[in-house]
Homo-oligomer: A and B are copies of this chain.
Amino acid sequence: MRIAVLGGDGYCGWPTALYLSSRGHEVTIVDNFSRRLWDYELGAQTLTPIRPLPDRLRAWRKAGGRVISSFIGDITDYEFVGSMVREFEPEAIVHFAEQRSAPYSMIDRRHANFTQVNNVVGTLNVLFAIKEFQPDCHLVKLGTMGEYGTPNIDIEEGYIRIQHNGREDVLPFPKQPGSFYHLSKVHDTHNIHFCCKIWGLRATDLNQGVVYGTVTPETAHDETLVNRFDYDDVFGTALNRFCVQAALEHPITVYGKGGQTRGFLDIRDTVRCIELACLNPAARGEFRVFNQFTEQFSILQLARMVQTAAKRFGLHVTIDHIPDPRVEAEEHYYNAKTRNWSTWDCNRTCSQNRWSILW
């Protein structure tokens, strides 16, 4: 298939592009390098040095991979997105090209507004470009499990059947996002759903849990192909920070009680899920939603697993509970469903990868 990976220079996009390429698809990477820019803004860096995209793409060819082309530009610029779609004629667009850090979106008003405008306008442009130039193209949009928040009922996949006053309907699952970033994803979800309905577009929303891991078989071919490992307080996930703290024998810093529970999945499952979605497109007019994660853990469970793993390396690490800087429930019910996704028979491969980062 011809697949455009928007945000293909980033943490999830890069290994996805390589995996899809290794599977024989014709891949193009669309990126404006904003993720690299934010490193400069924040004075932070990935632990694994990331080479310029042309070097990465050359290394991929040298390692025997197919040619991956690239379109460098900003998807909030419609001329750019439109010309990319006209020229490349993608059968699927995998859309990672968003500002994806909740803490970044919460820095101040400027960052909040930037995140919402950037993500919403970028996605609207992609939708309009598909409608205008490639109406049969399947949009595979990365959502996040964080859109749901932590309701006191089971989290279904995108929709819920509600019985109320003797009537019933299947409606979008109510969302309670917990940051301006997560809000931007909910805005996207509503916009995409609407465009599928009125224009007959095909879209799959993949609400992935927190993605962990750095290495995939494809990025392991050559050092130049290495993926990001962010551990700063803005783009680093809790797990990545815990791992780095443990390696330094610094106490692991858990926000509050640590009962905050989320779904998690390995980056190698992320890339497989993306291909599965591409190979099984939504129908015209369908807005399909999948929740994707392999396990659910609380922050405290994560901290304890990292502590245990560190012990095997002879590292003695304590766990500190520091005041939670976020307004969130530190203890809550959490049971998210991922039924639809498992019917794609992805379970077998997923289970092999569980917690491979730690062992």
* A169 CB contact (under 8 Å) in B121, B153, B194, B198: B153
Q: Knowing that A151-B169, A186-B190 touch, tell me 17 more A-B residue pairs with CB under 8 angstroms.
A: A109-B125, A113-B121, A113-B125, A116-B120, A116-B124, A117-B121, A120-B120, A152-B169, A153-B162, A153-B168, A154-B165, A154-B167, A162-B174, A172-B175, A173-B174, A175-B190, A187-B187
* A124 CB contact (under 8 Å) in B109, B174, B176: B109
Contact A183 B190 (CB under 8 A): yes
Chain B residues whose C-beta falls within 8 Å of the C-beta of A187 in the assembled complex:
116, 120, 183, 186-187, 190
Q: For residue A109, which residue of chain B has the nearest CB?
A: B128
Q: How many copies does the complex hold?
A: 2
> Which residues of A pack against B, CB within 8 Å?
78, 109, 112-113, 116-117, 120-121, 124-125, 128, 151-154, 156, 160, 162-165, 167-169, 171-180, 183, 186-187, 190-191, 194, 197-198, 327, 333
Inter-chain CA distance A117–B160, complex, in Å, is 29
CB distance from A185 to the nearest CB of B (A): 10
Given contacts A78-B109, A113-B124, A187-B190, contact A152 B174 (CB under 8 A): no
Chain B residues whose C-beta falls within 8 Å of the C-beta of A153 in the assembled complex:
162-165, 167-169, 171
CB distance from A113 to the nearest CB of B (A): 6
Inter-chain CA distance A90–B275, complex, in Å, is 53
Chain B residues whose C-beta falls within 8 Å of the C-beta of A116 in the assembled complex:
120-121, 124, 187, 191
Return the 5 tightest CB-CB contacts between A and B, nearest first: A152-B169, A171-B174, A153-B164, A198-B327, A109-B128
Inter-chain CA distance A120–B167, complex, in Å, is 34
Contact B197 A191 (CB under 8 A): no
Chain B residues whose C-beta falls within 8 Å of the C-beta of A183 in the assembled complex:
187, 190-191, 194
